[in-house]
Amino acid sequence: MTDATLLVSLPQPVPEIFDLFDDIILMAEGKILYHGPRDRILDLFENCGFRCPP
């Protein structure tokens, strides 16, 4: 399958599943908190003061 858009709702995906996505739309209370490449989302949250556990 190429050039397809897929909408999936995963409450808490395991890292192996999360890594399969190219782009992420993170929503809360009906508002978009993040929309962009999966590999840049950690930078966003770290810049906001949140740290991912090792």
Q: What is the pLDDT of residue 38?
A: 92
Strand partners, 37: 23
Q: What is the pLDDT of residues 3-49, one digit of tens each?
A: 787 788 888 889 899 888 899 998 889 899 899 999 998 888 899 99
Is the dihedral angle over the CA atoms 9, 6, 29, 52 positive or is it negative? positive
Q: What is the pLDDT of residue 8?
A: 81
DSSP state of 40: G
